[in-house]
Chains A and B, each alone.
Chain A
Amino acid sequence: MRSLKFLIGAAAAVLLFASHTAKAADPVRFGLCYDLSKAYTFITPQVAQAARDLADLQNMKGGIEGHPVEMVLQDHGNEPQRGIECYERLKRDGVMVFDLLSTPVSRAVLPRAMKDGNIMVQALVGRGDAVDGKVFEWIFPVGPTYWGQAANDIKYIKDQAGGNMKGVKVAFLYIDYAFGQEPIPLLKKLQEIEGFDLKLFPYPLPGNDQASAWSQIRRYKPDWIIHWGFSALHVVASREMKRNGIPMDKFISVNWMNEVDINNIGPDVAKGLKRGTSVVGGSDHPLKQEIKAKLYDQGKGNGDIKLFDDSYYNVGLAIYSTMFEGARLAIKNEGWPLTPAKIKKGLESLSDFDANGFIAPLTVTADDHGGGGKTRIERWDGTKWVAETDWFAAYTDVVWEIVHEHSAEFAKSGK
């Protein structure tokens, strides 16, 4: 009996440390260090599933320029130390492209990625000033920054007001934390430029209690409400909106709003709600139909089909279509074997790439690692998302001013 316990203990100990496996140099590997268990669980399962599905689909078509795609997924529980461990471990396994999908962990890993010269994808999270490609050479936040999204929302409001924003009242509702506070400097600058009336309405962590913010909003009687929240915060906000008798049409959300939130709000109640987004919503697109036909209908999907119709699944497809295209250009133009420098060049040669109409067109250059920051406003009509505008990026000069202000800080303090 004792020897059996000893054997089990020994086997467990061996397995505990046997996480290194030999890898061939042939595949193109992406390291997905995601928070699958703590704060970001409202997006990471969908994005991880989308990444794996896209990898499987690409491998069915022969891989990227003949090389199979491999996705290594590891959980870091939104803890910077585990994120750093994930990065360090995968780095030694030959992974060159990392996605952390968590703002605190991205911030923790960024200095190391910059020092080691590995590509870090930081799409839609993390440091907004990382779009400055000259300072953040190895970081690729492909997609809009929060500043860009706020600027585009203001442009939309301006167009709705007929081009003149004098007297328009904009309420900015946000969670009183770095995520929500980020667009404020930009909004204040735009307020000076356009002359509209801006009032800030923060609500405290964790965001379930928005009552005081909303009673102030009711007294303010704004024309538009921009909400910087996510997941359950939208549900609470919509409940408060209904309670205070404010029509849903005035609501513009940040890109973190998906069908789960709409279902929790109630699809009919949410009619008229708008969000800014850089990715097409819904499952009508040929890419999604192809994945459905070739993977899910054959039972080879990487997860639940329920997650397939989610907007965040589309976000995952968008991020990885861009990454695959960058890798493809790198292999085609620079040749195999891949190095981070080649992948960097490949990503920087993306020009007007829109993944067949799936995402806002991205033009990534050595100076602009964000790809232009285009978004569009979509409206929920009760059953699906309807595009209100085309892809656009407004006030780019103001946004870049703020980006350069912050990236200069980073450049000054070293690494």
Chain B
Amino acid sequence: MFFRQAGIHHTDYRQDLKIFPIPVDRWMIGLLLALAVLAPYYLDTLYLNSYLLPWLIWTSAALGLNLILGWAGQFHFGYAAVMGIGAYTAVHATRNAIPWEIAVILGGLTSTVIGIAFAFTALRVKGLYLALSTLALQFVMDWVITHVPEISGGVQATLQAPDMTLLGNPITTDTGLYYVVLVWCVLVTTFMLNLRRSALGRALVAVREKDFAAAVIGVNAFFYKLLAFAVTSFMGGVTGAILIFCFYHAVTPEQFAVDVSIQALAMVIVGGLGSVIGSYFGAAFVLLLPGTINGLISTLAEAMNIRLGIEVLAHIPNALYGFLIIGFLLFEPLGLAKIYNNFRNYLLVWPFGYARK
């Protein structure tokens, strides 16, 4: 009833290639976009700049990682290092009077160059060995940043990021920063959504499934893996730069340490490999859930007048969060996006559920 497919027919290839052929999908996307654009007007600033803004930034990051992990099927344990390279480059560039837009693109390009350099060596191996090679990228970046004061800003290891400027005008309000992040997130989402109907997407899927079979039919596996690394690194670099300029306003090495890499991986895996909406869910899950559970447990403890020790009260949310990850993955190993997909498949034929085989 909702996802009525009767009456949808295509008369040319262009219509056939539509990303959202069912009208209700298009309405939902339109509604979400409208909600996102109008968010500063109905959301309290706390939720806007401490929940929604980091969520959108990390969704962009997870989408970038999804390209290489979900679509190309290559492990990447050094994604936070890639974001860090972009962030540090962009901050250094703006501190040297380069316009912000160019600085951010420069950050992306630096990440791409370094990402490709590592990929040349890393792509000689597969699977877990590739994972360790990319982990090496992460550790090397950590070491370089803490030991080269020209990059890290000295022993204080904090570099203040100047105000971000668009066409020379500084953007300092919550709303302005939010819109910049929203634009970037929409761009990345559109790119990822279009992958499924592009040649690049098909090539990546072929490489993911069986790279030697792809090579047999003429898809240069090494080239496309390298391309995937490059595009992911670019998106990661730009997202890292935007994370610093729009959220943290200062860059330190801890923001791009190995545990952040693992968190990014968790976002993609819990959300669903290769799924765009999965990246949104995964980012919300990993980023926002620990804090929310923390608040819930504290409120519950207060409401029920239980006096727990400080440490117990701090560790229960972590345990609960771990259980939730295990629970969700046991319930649906393919991630949160698959849960949504199951729900949507049910609604596709509702109320004629017997029609689906």
| Residues of chain A at the chain B interface (Cβ within 8 Å) | 12, 15-16, 18-19, 36-37, 41, 44-45, 48-49, 73-77, 79-82, 84-85, 88-89, 92, 104, 107-108, 110-112, 127-129, 176-178, 181-182, 184-185, 302-304, 406, 409-410, 413-415
Contact = CB atoms under 8 A, between A and B. Distances in A.
A190 B157 CA distance: 22
Contacts of B250: 107-108, 110-111
B112 interface: no
Interface string B130-157: 0000000000000000100000011111
Given A41-B311, A85-B50, A89-B50, A127 B295 contact: no
Nearest to A205: B142
Contacts of A107: 158, 250, 252
B80 to A, nearest CB: 13
A111 B245 CA distance: 12
A171 to B, nearest CB: 19
Given A37-B318, A77-B290, A410 B155 contact: no
Given A36-B311, A82-B290, A84-B50, A178 B157 contact: yes
A74 B146 contact: no
B184 to A, nearest CB: 17
- Among B51, B294, B299, max chain A CB count under 10 A is at B294
Nearest to A106: B158
B160 A111 contact: yes
A16 B303 CA distance: 12
Contacts, number: 115
Contact of B310 (A73, A81, A89): A73
A108 B252 contact: yes
Nearest to B142: A205
Given A15-B296, A19-B299, A88-B49, A49 B249 contact: no
A75 B50 contact: no
B146 A111 contact: no
A80 B156 contact: no
B249 A112 contact: yes
**Main SS of the interface on chain B?**
helix
Nearest to A89: B46
Nearest to A87: B50
B315 interface: yes
A406 B154 contact: yes
A410 B46 contact: no
B346 interface: no
B99 interface: no
A178 B155 contact: yes
Interface string B265-299: 00000000000000000000001001110111011
B197 to A, nearest CB: 35
A215 to B, nearest CB: 22
B98 interface: no
Contacts of B311: 36, 41, 45
A104 B255 contact: yes
B303 A413 contact: no
Interface string B302-324: 01000001110111011000000
